Amino acid sequence: MKQDYVSDFTLFINHYLANHPEVVAEQKRGWDKYWNPDADQAAQAQNSKDTAPNDGYGFFLPAGIDKSH
């Protein structure tokens, strides 16, 4: 079996990523956002501001629904 075989798809992806470094940077930013939240303090602060209050039932009512009954 050939050990140096590289598929057409792998060649395409490697070529694409070499020509589009912004894709790799965006992947790293996304990785840090979910797996290393301490890496981006500004994004972490924005995420904490963008949360909805917990109503205690495990789901959120759509805006405009009367919760009085």
Listed by start position, the domains of the chain span: 1-38
pLDDT digits (tens, 9 = 90+) for 8-61: 999 999 999 999 999 999 998 888 877 876 766 777 777 777 667 666 666 666
* Distance set, CA 14 to CA 22, 25, 27, 54 (Å): 14, 15, 15, 44
Residue 13 is predicted with a pLDDT of 97
Count other Cβ atoms within 10 Å, centred on residue 36. Answer: 10
- Tokens standing for 40? 């981006």
Residue 4 scores a pLDDT above 60: yes
Residue 3, sorted as left (phi over 0), alpha (psi -120 to 50) or beta, turns out to be: alpha
φ, ψ at 8 (rounded to 5°): -60, -40
Residue 60 is predicted with a pLDDT of 60
